[in-house]
Structure 1
Amino acid sequence: MPLKSLVVAGLLASASVLAADTAKAPAAPVPLLWKVSDKDNTVYLLGSFHLLRQSDYPLSADVEAAFDDAERLMFELAPEEMQSTAVQQLMLQAALRTDGKTLQQDLDATTWKRLETWAGKNGMPMVAFNSFEPWFVGLTISIVEMTKQGLDPKLGLDNHFMDKAKAAGKPTAGLEIAQEQIGVLDGMEAAEQRQFIVESLDQADKGSVETERLHQAWRRGDAEGLWTGMAADMKRQYPRLYRRINVDRNDAWVPKIQRILTQPGDDDALVVVGALHLLGEDGVVEKLRERGYKVERICSACGAGAR
């Protein structure tokens, strides 16, 4: 589920499950949490699953301690944008075609037939898609699949901490603005947008088995499993798309996180972003480690040596 978990949450995404077997699930998810330090500041990096279930709460003591220690929080988007209906309207406006073409003219016959089949299974008229850009249709497929499998964006980790920050009176900010996130999708080349639809349909075909596997990997704090399941295939099959929605954004975020570490004083921050942005050699964690910062995994359940 490479694309979806990045885009759904901030836009806006990023996956999971029919009813989980809560009897076998751990009492709390193992956090994808790292502590980045210099001589006087700390930034906690927390990997989010953008759509979750009520059974994914409460969170672990490690995560709650990081929130308590942080004087402020940062997200992909500031709460006032992420939770704004105006941003949803901006996305719809960006998604509407202005080139006089239809979606069917953009897609090859095989992909169009697959989309017809998916729409039929989900009770969605194809005419509703024809006036939109392919990226928006791919995003729609992703969101529909996740929500029908029991996931709720209102319960996503981002929204959870936005609400906690508001209740605690802690200041919040975004690493990017809504127009930039929308631009990531709307600025895709035609070939990349078609890849987005194919990727979304591929993941829909895998159904709940795939999303359950990824959701459980997130609950276990399995960074390697999430990287392999969410990004490795996309990086190999769609390298330009992978760079646009992951690498380029990570590269833009790292200097903003560095400014927290280098600013005067000792204020700490909790940064909550889609888990994929923290994983692998292209992730924010490794990019900060390469810049010489002390980076350690915070995970009481993981044992020594977790990275």
Structure 2
Amino acid sequence: MLIRFLAALLLSAAAGHASAEPPKPLLWKVSDADNAVYLLGSFHLLRPDDYPLSPAVYAALDDAENVVFELSPEEMNDPSLGQKMMRVAQRADGRTLQAALPAETWTRLSDYAARRNLPIERYQGFDTWFMGLLIGITEMQGLDMDPALGLDRHVAARAVAAGKAVGALETAEQQFAMFDGLSPEEQLQSLQDSLDDIDSIEQEISRMHALWRAGDATALYAMSGAEMKRDYPALYERMNVARNRAWLPEIRTLLDAGGRDDALVVVGAMHLLGEDGVVRMLRDAGYTVERL
């Protein structure tokens, strides 16, 4: 399940060949009386043939005086980010990972690590959630996904080069805390489901990729967010809905500040989709919202 949830959050491009046409963007324009905020669904790992993006994306970036991301460009490109996450993931209960896991789960994890040449003994001091995340990252890297080509980094580089004001909705520490705050039961379920989903990851992400390239927001949410809401409501609330609600005042400030400065907000695509998405929240708040 954690592999599926990672894919849903990242909405990453995967196997298959891109068409000659750029992908249809998950891009909305939210307006009030005097300015606008563009909302762009980010894909945090992409491939070279996913570029160039649609002209509509570059037009929105050109029009925006302010560009806001989940993480600041500085944190996105911080080479020590992985090390910071590993520090957060250190066990604090005095037990080894093996002692914390059911014997059958430890055996499955050890077998997986051996197949992927991961030194399992080096991870004895890590929390269970980290191991589920590690499986997801390992499997997606095996599909030739590159975070250096992620949509957020691509847009951030262009925004910084153009001298635009850039900002962030949260910090890396807040993101790590989402995982670290999972209950022991949730962490174990995430690890077990990640082990269950290994064989289906390529097919799952390939399907998401096809829906993304088609710009099919409805089907993409049905496959990702709607399934997660149904099967894992607590995790969905923590990692998707709660963050959307926390971001909403920040986005409304960009709209309500007055003046004619426009902004572009770039977040993981699932945060924009469905009945709990930021797009729906802003529409319900009375703003004019249009899909571009």
TM-score (norm 2): 0.94
User: Following the alignment from structure 1 to structure 2, what is the Cα–Cα distance between the partners of residues 206 and 187?
Assistant: 27
User: Following the alignment from structure 1 to structure 2, what is the Cα–Cα distance between the partners of residues 14 and 287?
Assistant: 21
Match of 1:181 in 2: 175
Q: 1:21 aligns with which of 17, 23, 26?
A: 17
Match of 1:209 in 2: 203
The answer to whether structure 1 residue 66 and structure 2 residue 60 are counterparts is: yes
Deviates more, 1:138-147 or 1:197-206: 197-206
**What is the CA deviation profile of residues 140-182 of structure 1, one whole-angstrom value per residue up to 9, with x for unaligned ones?**
1111111110110000101101111111111110001122111
The answer to whether structure 1 residue 198 and structure 2 residue 200 are counterparts is: no
CA deviation after TM superposition for structure 1 residue 108, in Å? 2.9
User: Following the alignment from structure 1 to structure 2, what is the Cα–Cα distance between the partners of residues 70 and 210?
Assistant: 34
Residues 45 and 150, structure 2, Cα contact 8 Å, conserved in 1: yes
Residues 70 and 269, structure 1, Cα contact 8 Å, conserved in 2: yes
SS in 1 for 2:213: helix
CA deviation after TM superposition for structure 1 residue 272, in Å? 0.7
Match of 1:107 in 2: 101
Per the alignment, do residues 136 and 100 of structure 1 end up closer, same or farther by CA in structure 2, a change over 3 Å counting?
same
Residues 4 and 201, structure 2, Cα contact 8 Å, conserved in 1: no
Per the alignment, do residues 99 and 136 of structure 1 end up closer, same or farther by CA in structure 2, a change over 3 Å counting?
same
Equivalent residue runs for 1:237-276 within 5 Å: 237-276=231-270
Per the alignment, do residues 16 and 90 of structure 1 end up closer, same or farther by CA in structure 2, a change over 3 Å counting?
same
Per the alignment, do residues 54 and 292 of structure 1 end up closer, same or farther by CA in structure 2, a change over 3 Å counting?
same
Q: Which structure 1 residue ranges, 5 or more long, are not aligned?
A: 8-12, 299-307
User: Following the alignment from structure 1 to structure 2, what is the Cα–Cα distance between the partners of residues 222 and 111?
Assistant: 37
CA deviation after TM superposition for structure 1 residue 124, in Å? 1.1
Residues 49 and 218, structure 1, Cα contact 8 Å, conserved in 2: no
Deviates more, 1:82-91 or 1:258-267: 82-91
Equivalent residue runs for 1:84-123 within 5 Å: 84-123=78-117
Whichever residue aligns with residue 17 of structure 2, its letter is D
CA deviation after TM superposition for structure 1 residue 37, in Å? 0.6
Residues 2 and 229, structure 1, Cα contact 8 Å, conserved in 2: no
**What is the CA deviation profile of residues 250-275 of structure 1, one whole-angstrom value per residue up to 9, with x for unaligned ones?**
11001100000000211111111111
User: Following the alignment from structure 1 to structure 2, what is the Cα–Cα distance between the partners of residues 226 and 81?
Assistant: 28
User: Following the alignment from structure 2 to structure 1, what is the Cα–Cα distance between the partners of residues 60 and 289?
Assistant: 14
Match of 2:69 in 1: 75
SS in 2 for 1:85: coil
SS in 2 for 1:101: coil
CA deviation after TM superposition for structure 1 residue 6, in Å? 6.0
Whichever residue aligns with residue 5 of structure 2, its letter is L
CA deviation after TM superposition for structure 1 residue 43, in Å? 0.6
Whichever residue aligns with residue 21 of structure 1, its letter is H
Q: Which structure 2 residue ranges, 5 or more long, are not aligned?
A: none
Matched residues, percent identical? 50
Residues 102 and 130, structure 1, Cα contact 8 Å, conserved in 2: yes
Match of 2:288 in 1: 294
**What is the CA deviation profile of residues 185-236 of structure 1, one whole-angstrom value per residue up to 9, with x for unaligned ones?**
1111111212222343343220311111111211111112211222222211
Match of 1:302 in 2: none
User: Following the alignment from structure 2 to structure 1, what is the Cα–Cα distance between the partners of residues 189 and 35?
Assistant: 41
Match of 2:153 in 1: 159
SS in 1 for 2:28: strand
User: Following the alignment from structure 1 to structure 2, what is the Cα–Cα distance between the partners of residues 213 and 14?
Assistant: 10
CA RMSD of aligned residues (A): 1.7
Whichever residue aligns with residue 168 of structure 2, its letter is G
**What is the CA deviation profile of residues 87-140 of structure 1, one whole-angstrom value per residue up to 9, with x for unaligned ones?**
333211111112111222333344333323322221112213321111211111
Per the alignment, do residues 29 and 14 of structure 1 end up closer, same or farther by CA in structure 2, a change over 3 Å counting?
closer
Residues 77 and 175, structure 1, Cα contact 8 Å, conserved in 2: yes
CA deviation after TM superposition for structure 1 residue 14, in Å? 5.2
Whichever residue aligns with residue 33 of structure 1, its letter is L
SS in 2 for 1:206: helix
Match of 1:10 in 2: none
SS in 2 for 1:44: strand
The answer to whether structure 1 residue 283 and structure 2 residue 280 are counterparts is: no
Question: Number of paired residues?
Answer: 290
